[in-house]
Every structure is written in C-alpha cells, then in structure tokens.
Amino acid sequence: MIELPKLTRHLRAGLLACAALGATALSLPALAQTQAPIVRTASGPVQATVRDGMRTYFAIPYAAPPVGDLRWRAPRPAASWADPIAKTKSGAACLQTGAAAFRSSGDSEDCLYLDVHTPAGPGPFPVMVWIHGGAFTSGSAGVYADPTPLVSKGVIVVAINYRLGAMGFMALPALRESDGSAGNYGIMDQQAALGWVQKNISSFGGDPKNVTIFGESAGGFSVMSHLAAPGSAGLFQKAIIESGAYGVSGQLTQAELEALSTEAVNTTLTRAGLAAPGTCTVGTPSAACLRDLPEPVIRAMLMSAFASAVPNIMPSVDGRVLPRTIKATFVAGANNKVPVINGSNQDENLLFLALQELAARFSAKPPNFDPTNRSFLLTADGAMASAKALEAQTGISANDLLKKHYPLSAYGSDTVLQPSLAAGAAGTDSTFSCNGINVSARMIGQGSPVWMYEFRDQSAPSLVGSFGGKAILSLPQGAAHATELSYIFNLMDLGSGDRKALKDTMSGYWANFAKSGNPNGAGLPAWGAFKGGQIQALDVASDGGVKPMPIVAFRTEHKCDSVWGRQTF
C-alpha cells in the first residue's frame, strides 16, 4: 500500500532499473553488416544493420532536435540529409530523471529518434509502434533494441524516444501557444513519430493502414492518452495497454500543472543563481529565459526540481492534445475506438516494495546485501503507514484496509513477509488491477473489441535485486510490474523451457493482434474476448498455464467490488 506520490517515485526507479538491465542484456546480440539494404525515407536514406534475419534501421530522426528555440515547443520536421544514416545502435535517450545508477546512459536533449525493426521480405507487414515506459521520466527505445520475438512472427516494430520529465511535460504561462495550451510535448513527440510512420513505413515494407500502438506503464498510459487525444485519430488502428491504467484519475489541469511548474522553475533559477529582473524574473520567467537555460542547469537542477514538484508526472489537460481528462473523454464517448488488448500483472506493486528494500540496504552502514537478513523488509508499522496514506487518497479507513480487507494473517505463515505481501496486494489492486478492468468494461460498453489478460508467472525473473546472478533481496517479487516485458522482447535469458514457451505464446498473441485485431491463431491456446466474460491468465505450464479466467474471479481476487468499487472509470 504505497501512497500515490511514493508509488510513482518507485515506478520511475523501477522502470529505470529495467532500462539499465535491458541495455546490458541487449549488448549481447552480434550485429552484422552483411547484406545491408538502404531505404529512402522522405527526408533521406537509411541503411540497415542485419542480424539473425531481422533488419534494423537505428537512430532515424523523426523530428528536429528540440533544443534552443525549439525547447518546449511542438516537434518540428527533421532536416533532410543526403548520405545514408548507417547507425548500429539506437539514438540518445531523452534527458532522464532518477538515481544515477538507473538512468539510461548517454541521454541528451537531442533525442527525437526512432528505430525500425523489419522482417526480411517485401511485406506489406503489420506495424507495431512501441512506446517505452518509465513514469514519463526515464527509459528509451534502445532498451528494446531486440524485438526478435515479434519481428520473427511477421511484424515490423518501431521503437520511439520522446521527451521526458520537465522537457516533455512542464507547462508555464510563458510557454503557452497562441491557442493557450502548454505542456504535453512528450505526447506531441509520440504523435509526430506516428505521423512519420504514416509517411514513411511503406518504404520499409510496412502497411500504414495497419498500425498498432503498444506500451507498458507510462507507455501504456501514453496509449490511453492517444485513445483520448483527438489529434491521434487515424494514426493507428489497434492498441495494446500493458499496466497503463494506473493514472486514469490523477491528471492535472493546466492551471495546476502551471503552478507546480512555476515552483520548479523558481527553485532552479534561485539555486543556479540566475534569478534577476527581466527575462529570468522569479515567478514570471519568460520563454526566452527558459529556452536560454544552459543544458547543465536543466540536467542537474530543473529535471529533478520538476520531478520533486510533480511526483506524478503524466500528460495533463492542456486544451490542445487533451481537451479534457482521459476519464472524462471516455465517459463522454469521445475517445478513439479501436480493438484493444488491455492487461496488468498479478503482483504489480511488489516491484516498488523490492525497490524500497533495495534502497534500505544501500542506506545501511555498511550497505547490506545478505538476503538472509530480513530486517530490511516492510514492517507491520510500515504497512499501517501506507494504509493511512491510502485512506487519505481514497477515504477507505486504514484500519479497515489492514484488519478487514488485507489482514496480514491472510498472506501466508511467514510473519516477516506478511506486511510486504499485504501492502503489495493492496497497491496492486487499487492502482493497477481494478483500474484496468474498469477501463476494459468502459471500452466494451462502447462496442470496442477488447481482449484482457493478467500476467501471473510467479517464476518470472526479477528485474531488480540480483547481482552477478545472485539474489540480494529477501522479498519474492512474483509477477511484478514490468516482468512481462521479457516475454515480449529479448531483455534477458528466461532460463526454463516453461518460461520460453510462455514467451512464444505471448509474442504470438501480440503479433496476431497486430495482424488482424484478434490475438488468436493456429497453435495458440484460445483467448476469449472480454465481452464473453473472460480474462486470459498468462502463466507457465507448470503453474496453471495459459487459460481463461472468469471476470468475476479476477474482480474477487483483486477486491474490485468489495473494496475498490467506488473507484470507477
């Protein structure tokens, strides 16, 4: 039961950790420059790197660098080039916020690049556009530079970067456009990348009329944003939301975001010694002041100041990209209606509790990484503190949460683990599971085809808490937040044949959905539509396998009616 601001900080760190892990794992596949075809885009030629039957066109600029006068503006077209771009790795990540150990390395303001991964052959192939997660503060396309599980099944995968943190989501009165809007530059970047796909993907053998957007965590919330954004209509035909419904009731208005952004800028100008009458006046800094800030000031001060002022960074109601909240847009039926896969993981919140334990171990003097020492786990008092924070957010009493709905005694016989498991269940249910199923129900009520899943593999490799293959945490993470990513992309060796079989099934579902709008296909377990009363449980064969789960069973397990029913979408 982590309160929302604290959850988001851990969400940010968790996806950063996943990014660091993925970047390490993805350095392994060998890159070969044999048979390197050249494709001509509307702006210039690009040359492929060929590896294991997949052609990858790395670091293609889809927009001009958002620097100088282009800071905090809608993306502009990239300049044309004459010589082929022949990169062998992804472009620079956008500026990151978070602990240095977890940031994607080599970040830069000049970051609006995408990678195109294609099968061999003429096509036309369905297109999947991947929007990475990371709490809108971290992550990059480069983490996902090996989508072989999907590409090998006959789809093109396009992975994109987009501006993050203060560079992507800050809003100030001085930055308002002529229509009065400000902020959401990261979502505008995503729209520009989708526009690039429409204009160029046929040259790579892709079908611009068969585009699926998919993303996890903040990437999944981005998918939700495009389902609500009028300007995204027609840029895609299908959508996959992975653990993306977490923030459907937490969006800020433009006025709220401008007030918090002003606080962050004031803090930055003061700390940097730049506050002075004129363009950099504290309280009313001009656009010129902001666009002239040295990059070291932005990197070292503004990014962290904004993350502190706005702990739940996400797309806001700006009047342009999002004229109203995502929830209000869906309630009014004004959203873009397409076939959707939507889902979450059984133990989402355990990742964030694992990160809490990891932070506590690092802070010990000396640091302690002995997993048999379990004094770093959440205590009963810690679980009660989190319950009180949830009470402040939801109105559900902390005593009811811990004594009635999530009693410690219901979480096994190991009294040391009970507080973590109870808090993990409450955070998962309130933030991910019930929001997710309510989103699915809303879309079904509008007539959109929906397939819903829950990833349940308790044996899934943990994203954090191991060093050199050795566990350093006491908390078992189960099917925690983001663990399903290794079953869609090549992020790490899954080890067992059971897990590899599940990976083949899941990537098959995703690819089939991109092809036809239906995940079912030859050789795969039948997946019943959400409208038919089913959710697909995604698990290894040794622990139940891939099979239907009744909606009522899901709602009961995650207490969506008995506790969280008041939180409807």
- What are the catalytic residues? 217
Tell me how far apart the 2 most distant CA atoms of the chain are, in Å. Answer: 69
Pull the structure tokens for residue 522. 């030859």
Separation CA 245–CA 424 (nearest Å): 17
Count of alpha carbons within 13 angstroms of residue 226, beta-carbon side: 35
Pull the structure tokens for residue 257. 């975001």
- Which of 456, 496, 505, 454 is closest to 479 using CA atoms? 456
CB 306 within 8 A of CB 170: yes
Separation CA 243–CA 227 (nearest Å): 15
| DSSP SS3 for 58 | strand
Place of tokens 């993050």: 164
Pull the structure tokens for residue 282. 């504290």
CB 185 within 8 A of CB 112: no
Cα angle value 154/59/29 (rounded, 5°): 60
Torsion 16-17-23-29 (CA) sign: negative
* Bridge partners (DSSP) listed for residue 159: 115, 130
CB 211 within 8 A of CB 129: yes
CB 59 within 8 A of CB 87: yes
Separation CA 241–CA 212 (nearest Å): 11
Identity at 312, one-letter amino acid code: N
The helix or strand, by DSSP H or E, that contains position 54, with its residue range, turns out to be strand 54-61
The helix or strand, by DSSP H or E, that contains position 464, with its residue range, turns out to be none
CB 533 within 8 A of CB 444: no
For 109: left if phi > 0, alpha if psi spans -120 to 50, otherwise beta; the answer is alpha
Separation CA 164–CA 111 (nearest Å): 10
Cα angle value 464/467/471 (rounded, 5°): 70
Q: Are strands 49-51 and 54-61 parallel, antiparallel or unpaired?
A: antiparallel
